[in-house]
Structure 1
Amino acid sequence: MRPSINNRAAGRLVAAFGVVLLAGCGDDTPKLGLGEEHIAANEAELADAMTARILEISRRHQAAGEAIPRFNQPKTVACARATFTVPRHTGELSRGLFAEPGDYEAILRFANATQQDDREKDLRGLSVRLTGVDGAQSVDGPSGRQDFLFNSYPALFAGTPEDFSRFVSAVADGRRWWYFLNPLAPQPKSLWIALRARSQPDSPLAVSYYSTTPYRYGDDATSAVKYAVRPCDGRDGEAAEGIRDDDPDYLRHAMAAQLAEDEACLSFQVQFQTDPEAMPIEDASVVWDEEASPFRPVARLTLPPQTIDTPQALARCDALAFNPWNTHPAHRPLGGINRVRRDIYQAAGEHRTTHNATLSDTETP
């Protein structure tokens, strides 16, 4: 079981570390220009070590005869079909996938980052897959797939491969919170982000989601963006009074109720990097200032009325594996977190889906 921490005590620890947080951490990354990356010498080694430790966790579940959960966003809230509509654009918005107007079939997976009970505060996740995208290349499936990954907070608590590696090791050792609270290597900024990022929305369709990591936008080597998906009405929802009191799956049920009767609309947006220092490529823990560079709509996701909560639909949803490197070259991932994600997600996804499919087959009467 994961160690737990009292929220009030965690808040006091954040305050105690305030001076350290404001001072920031040292950074030896060279000065970069717009859209430029810096690959650390030990990055491949870190990715291999993280992959090994995540597979170690998976094999524990496998040895116990259990289904292997995702390392991140393990609870499937629901999946939904959607149409991804790109309108006509001009100027810098008219690049890559967004250069021509058109419609694409999409599948959306909504998830919780850590909690199986929707009533618990948590980071919420969204994964989007487009199909039929000309020129999109896939690392784990047929061509034409374009995957986008999002969280409900605009920054990651582990913003670099080094930070992520320490967190993965803490989880593998059964000491998740030790990553944040180790007195020899405290992570006050990470703890602050992890606590602030948790929320209790009234529906997955009433949440703003952020890529947190940057991506290329077109063929211009100086162009980098972050993505966001937001409700078309521009309003984020908070939990309705009493809705989560007696329903651990209230997010699924709220979404199912809405889509049973009506369609939903989500706006797909991009935010351009305009300052390489204030908007770094290599640190996903930094929020890019929306006043300096606002998010701009480039597409719309329309979810038609549908049934999303049958056992068959949930099983198909849970079997999906996403990877940000399933992408059109014009929108390739940037930054260290994205670079290490490629092989980690591929290896972990293959192991999880293969084992879970085998387990399901053996359990079928």
Structure 2
Amino acid sequence: MNRDAAPWREDFRGGSREAEDRLFRAMAQAISPRPAARPDAAPVGTDRADRRLFHAKTAVGITDAALMVDRALPAGLVVGHFRPGAILPAAIRFSNASAIPQADGVPDMRGLAMRLAIPAGGPHDFVLANFPTALARNAEQFLALAMAAAGDWETRLARLASRIGLWESRRILAHLKASLKLCPSLAHEHFWSASPYLWGSRPVRFELRPVAGEPPPPILPAPGDNALRIEFASRIARRSVTYRLALQHYCDERRTPIEDAAVDWRPRAARPIEIATLVIPRQDISGREGRWALEQIDRLRFNPWNAPEDFRPLGSLNRLRRFFYAAGDQ
């Protein structure tokens, strides 16, 4: 650990990683109709992800983006393939968060998944959403949410409250109300990791911010099932779309907790540091090649555990998600 870094730790359920793995495998089986596979058996290739627990609909798929690392990258952030001036090929999937494919004009959260092709071989996946925190604080709340969502819609709040209490259930509903919104343009959305990840020896959260100067979005979303794709196609036919990648460092367990994904890491406590630019080049995504790219991206299974050890996900919510991804449900 860096001499100047704040001390941190992960708290494993049952007192050890092995005990927690057994518990989380059982939790994944409680939701998945298929047996939870070993996490190290999760494919990272192009098996069609047609049984996602969330983010069912691919709004836009890009196969030829690039993440351009800043030449002035601070020395403390030089880790693995993140080197000053590095250019990393990237595949991008924009999605609607709903588990059921629906029209883009429906209020919803939006996701951005990014797969980097790294020099050492293999992928490095980033999974983000356009809200700074997660619905569930931890693994137990994620299980309760998934179980409630799978049952009768009219009794979901009562069933959720029976598992996590009325106060936390109301907090989650308030979070949903705030996060389910209309989206005029994906190019103007701000995306966050919402949970921590390792960056070398230090925990971070990361975000992708739209670059200032992007042409303004329409006042209201366009009508139609694929309005986001149509708007993005019109925009990217004229110019590249860019985002800035920024990191926030862990500072202490109260303001930047590892095990509570519902706490916002506020900039006052953890100042975001920009380190790279994501460039989606100008192109035609409405033609034959664009439709081919959409199909290729839709077949990918983005998984935050597809990462070198120096960038592994942290916290119980991420550790449980490892088993859901392994079972092919996300």
TM-score range normalised by the length of the shorter chain:
0.7 to 0.9
Percent sequence identity over matched residues?
29
- Please list, as runs of the form range in 1=range in 2, the aligned pairs for 1:218-229 lying within 5 A after superposition: 218=200, 220=201, 223-229=202-208
Question: Residue 109 of structure 1: SS of its match in structure 2?
Answer: strand
Q: 2:67 aligns with which of 84, 105, 128?
A: 84
**Is 1:126 aligned to 2:112, yes or no?**
yes
User: Unpaired runs of 5+ in structure 2?
Assistant: 1-5, 36-48
- Distance change (3 Å), C-alpha of 1:236 and 1:168: farther
Q: How much has 1:53 moved relative to structure 2?
A: 4.2
**Is 1:282 aligned to 2:271, yes or no?**
no
Q: Where does residue 175 of structure 2 map in the other structure?
A: 193
- Distance change (3 Å), C-alpha of 1:144 and 1:292: same
Q: How much has 1:35 moved relative to structure 2?
A: 3.2
Cα distance per residue 1:212-242 (max 9 Å; x no partner): 0101111x3xx210010011118897x6234
- Please list, as runs of the form range in 1=range in 2, the aligned pairs for 1:1-365 lying within 5 A after superposition: 34-41=7-14, 43-56=20-33, 68-80=50-62, 81-88=64-71, 89-114=73-98, 116-134=102-120, 143-175=121-153, 178-179=156-157, 182=160, 184=162, 185-186=165-166, 187-218=169-200, 220=201, 223-233=202-212, 240-244=218-222, 246-309=223-286, 310-348=290-328
Length, aligned pairs only:
297
Q: How much has 1:47 moved relative to structure 2?
A: 2.5
User: Unpaired runs of 5+ in structure 1?
Assistant: 1-32, 59-66, 135-142, 353-365
1:275 is matched by which residue type in structure 2?
D
- Distance change (3 Å), C-alpha of 1:234 and 1:168: farther
- Distance change (3 Å), C-alpha of 1:167 and 1:110: same
Question: Residue 344 of structure 1: SS of its match in structure 2?
Answer: helix
- Distance change (3 Å), C-alpha of 1:334 and 1:83: same
Which TM-score applies when normalising by structure 2? 0.82
Contact 1:43 1:161 in 2 (8 A): no
Question: Residue 227 of structure 1: SS of its match in structure 2?
Answer: strand
Q: Where does residue 6 of structure 1 map in the other structure?
A: none
Question: Residue 206 of structure 2: SS of its match in structure 1?
Answer: strand
Cα distance per residue 1:224-262 (max 9 Å; x no partner): 10010011118897x623443x32211111111111221
Distance in 2, matches of 1:303 and 1:320, equals: 18
Structure possessing the higher relative contact order (Cα contacts under 8 Å, 6 or more residues apart): 2
Which TM-score applies when normalising by structure 1? 0.75
Contact 1:180 1:188 in 2 (8 A): no
Q: Identify which range, 174-183 or 38-47, moves more after superposition.
A: 174-183
